[in-house]
């Protein structure tokens, strides 16, 4: 009985992961197809990658995606961290208000946020393009940064900053030398969430961009009406990029720990 | 201490402009139509009346709700056992399995949806396979089946992760207590595990239903250009026909429907957990 149950759960999990990963594997495999077919591998070739790299639209989209993601990550991480620190010292009422407003872009369907921004930018008369896309991304990334930073702040001793300043630190020193290092894990995971949210965004970008500025998602959406194996190549690059980012994020703390351990060992030897 | 409090002020200005103002614009546009001059507008309920008096729009609304409900139901049915197996996996495998469920969600949704186009096409992977084993090809792409499949594929991880969290948070000693008191495995699951994991199911339902009811690129890619859900109507109003007032009204209707369904879901959850407590 027990053995059969285990076998059943293994089979189930196998099917689930087949469902999750088969489409991804399919894209990667067929990006190396030498023919146009999406069902038959005619042979191995890199021609779709060559075409991708010589396709101006695709390269532009890749450039804009990364540019917007990097700027949105940096800006929203700074804004979010600063706001979260300020909020942690604010009144209960203010906290509730900000949390409720932050929930709006998280809880609303993305398309609602998107049309709101679209009308807002056009009411202001801002030209749709790179600037509007960056502003929109900062807007929807910041609440996620705050969600990731705030719990870390809550677990800090509320008297920590006072203690620093009693010991002669300026508020700036207390902030940068004590508080920020303490909440660093929250800041880093907030930045990671912001980066992937921005990097993968489609709906909001699609509504607020214009004047030839597209990101990868928008390009896939507009190109997918016709079969174009270059999309497979582009998708593979996107999958690779995100995987590398995730591996780096998981590896850096491990590497840091290792180098710190090494330093400790060296200290012991000295 | 007070020094730091001022740090939140710039953000207050930012959210007032970037979050609150756009939301107010939607409400304003939904309840107005443009007057004769460009700058004038008048308040009206015409936009809502137009939507509810047109059978086509009502059909679209009905279809969107049905698709979203089907997606949510399938996600619960598939997601629950998956979360259960992960929660009961060996400790060494536990984190790996969670990571494997999370990983696809980090990959661009559009890319993952596009992948299904190639698989489901008339001469795609599945039909080629069917022909190989001597079966007649089936029309898969541009059907409701494809749309629901695409949604389940995109949103299932949210359901699994939510249920998994509530299952792992559960106090294991409760299960031991149930066994000690003579409960069978099935009883233990129905009377202890299931009621305690219900909050996870509920938040999973919210996380799946919300994007499913408002999605517009999954129906467009997998349902084809003729397949219209409420999200597609909103997209058209804003990007093609340019009737922002009507588009705003539709998105308000959608937002209200979502709020109502969340309210019902929460209510059901509360009743269920109260009932569980009494039983």
The pLDDT value recorded for residue B277 is 44
The pLDDT value recorded for residue B228 is 93
Tell me the residues of chain B between 201 and 240 that have a Cβ less than 8 Å away from chain A.
Answer: 210-211, 213-214, 216-217, 220-221, 231, 234-235, 238-239
Residue with tokens 């949105």: A72
pLDDT for A97-123, tens place per residue? Answer: 999 999 888 888 999 999 999 999 999
- DSSP letters spanning A121-162: HHHHTPPSSHHHHHHHHHHHHHHHHHHHHHHHHHTS-TTHHH
Which among B26, B100, B108 has CB closest to A238?
B108
| Alpha-carbon span B112 to B131, nearest angstrom | 25
With beta carbons less than 8 A apart as the criterion, state whether A73 and A148 touch: no
| Alpha-carbon span A134 to A70, nearest angstrom | 10
The pLDDT value recorded for residue B279 is 36
Residues of chain B with pLDDT under 50: 276-279
| Residue A102 contacts B, CB cutoff 8 Å | yes
pLDDT for A19-59, tens place per residue? Answer: 999 999 999 998 998 888 777 778 888 988 998 889 888 89
The pLDDT value recorded for residue B278 is 40
Nearest-Cα residue of chain A relative to residue B24: A116
| Alpha-carbon span B16 to A208, nearest angstrom | 19
pLDDT for B141-156, tens place per residue? Answer: 999 999 999 999 999 9
Nearest CA-CA partner of B3 in A90, A158, A152, A79:
A90
With beta carbons less than 8 A apart as the criterion, state whether A75 and A131 touch: no
- Residues on chain A touching B11 (C-beta within 8 angstroms): 79, 82-83, 86-87, 98, 142
Q: Which tokens in the block code for residue B246?
A: 């009507």
Q: Which of A184-188, A246-250, B32-36 has the highest mean pLDDT?
A: A184-188
Angle at A143 between CA A138 and CA A148, to 5 degrees: 120
| Domain at A56-216: CATH architecture | Orthogonal Bundle (1.10)
pLDDT for B138-191, tens place per residue? Answer: 888 999 999 999 999 999 999 999 999 999 988 888 888 888 888 888 888 888
Tell me the residues of chain B between 15 and 34 that have a Cβ less than 8 Å away from chain A.
Answer: 15, 18-23, 25-26, 29
**Element at B87 (helix H, strand E):** helix B55-87
- Residues on chain B touching A12 (C-beta within 8 angstroms): 81-82, 85
Smallest Cα distance from B85 to chain A, Å = 6
Smallest Cα distance from A161 to chain B, Å = 7
The pLDDT value recorded for residue A22 is 92
Domain boundaries along the sequence of chain A? 56-216
Give, as one character, the DSSP assignment of residue B135: P
| Alpha-carbon span B88 to B245, nearest angstrom | 51
Domains of chain B: 78-229 (1.10.3720.10)
pLDDT for B205-223, tens place per residue? Answer: 989 999 999 998 999 999 9
Q: Is residue B170 classed as helix, strand or coil in its secondary structure? A: coil
Residue A56 CB contacts under 8 Å (≥ 6 apart), including other chains: none
Rounded average pLDDT over A249-253: 71
Q: What is the ipTM of this complex?
A: 0.87
Model pTM score: 0.87
Nearest-Cα residue of chain A relative to residue B110: A217
With beta carbons less than 8 A apart as the criterion, state whether B60 and B229 touch: yes
pLDDT over 80 at A2, yes or no: no
B8/A86 CB distance under 8 A: yes
Give CA separation, B3 vs A41, A161, B111, in Å. Answer: 64, 10, 46
B106/A118 CB distance under 8 A: no
């Amino acid at each position: 009985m027990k053995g059969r149950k285990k076998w059943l759960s293994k089979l189930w999990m196998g099917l689930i992961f087949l469902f999750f990963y088969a489409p991804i594997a399919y894209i990667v495999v067929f990006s190396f197809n030498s023919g146009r077919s999406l069902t038959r591998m005619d042979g191995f070739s890199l021609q779709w990658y060559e075409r991708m790299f010589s396709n101006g639209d695709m390269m532009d989209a890749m450039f804009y995606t990364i540019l917007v993601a990097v700027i949105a990550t940096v800006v929203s991480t700074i804004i979010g961290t600063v706001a979260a620190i300020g909020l942690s010292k604010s009144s209960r009422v203010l906290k509730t208000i900000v949390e409720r407003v932050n929930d709006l872009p998280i809880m609303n369907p993305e398309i609602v946020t998107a049309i709101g921004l679209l009308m807002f930018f056009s009411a202001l008369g801002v030209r749709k393009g790179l600037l509007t896309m960056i502003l929109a991304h900062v807007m929807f990334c910041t609440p996620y940064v705050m969600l990731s930073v705030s719990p870390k702040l809550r677990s800090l001793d509320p008297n920590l900053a006072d203690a620093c300043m009693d010991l002669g630190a300026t508020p700036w020193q207390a902030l940068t030398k004590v508080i920020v290092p303490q909440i660093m894990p929250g800041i880093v995971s907030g930045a990671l969430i912001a980066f992937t949210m921005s990097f993968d965004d489609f709906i909001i970008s699609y509504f607020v961009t214009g004047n030839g500025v597209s990101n990868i998602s928008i390009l896939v959406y507009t190109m997918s009406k016709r079969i174009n194996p270059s999309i497979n190549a582009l998708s593979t690059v996107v999958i690779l990029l995100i995987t590398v980012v995730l591996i780096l994020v998981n590896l850096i703390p491990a590497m840091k720990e290792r180098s710190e351990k090494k330093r400790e060992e060296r200290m012991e030897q000295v | 201490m007070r020094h730091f409090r001022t740090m939140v002020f710039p953000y207050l200005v930012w959210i007032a402009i970037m979050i609150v103002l756009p939301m107010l614009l939607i409400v304003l546009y939904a309840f107005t139509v443009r007057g004769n001059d460009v700058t004038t507008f008048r308040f009206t309920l015409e936009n809502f009346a137009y939507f509810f008096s047109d059978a086509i729009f009502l059909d679209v609304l009905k279809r969107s709700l049905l698709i979203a409900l089907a997606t949510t139901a399938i996600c619960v049915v598939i997601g629950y056992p998956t979360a259960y197996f992960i929660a009961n996996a060996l400790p060494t495998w536990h984190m790996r399995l969670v990571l494997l469920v999370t990983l696809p969600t980090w990959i661009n949704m559009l890319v993952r949806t596009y992948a299904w186009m190639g698989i489901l096409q008339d001469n795609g992977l599945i039909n080629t396979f069917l022909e190989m084993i001597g079966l007649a090809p089936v029309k898969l792409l541009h059907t409701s089946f494809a749309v629901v499949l695409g949604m389940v594929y995109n949103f299932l991880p949210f359901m699994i992760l939510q249920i998994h969290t509530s299952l792992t948070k559960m106090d294991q000693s409760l299960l031991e207590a149930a066994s000690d008191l003579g409960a069978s495995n099935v009883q233990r699951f129905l009377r202890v595990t299931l009621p305690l994991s219900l909050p996870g199911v509920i938040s999973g339902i919210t996380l799946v239903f919300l994007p499913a009811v408002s999605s517009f690129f999954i129906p467009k890619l997998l349902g084809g250009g003729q397949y219209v859900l409420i999200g597609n109507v909103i997209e058209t109003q804003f990007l093609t026909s340019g009737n922002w007032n009507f588009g705003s009204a539709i998105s308000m209707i959608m937002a209200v429907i979502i709020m109502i369904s969340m309210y019902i879901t929460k209510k059901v959850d509360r009743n269920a957990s109260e009932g569980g407590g009494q039983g």
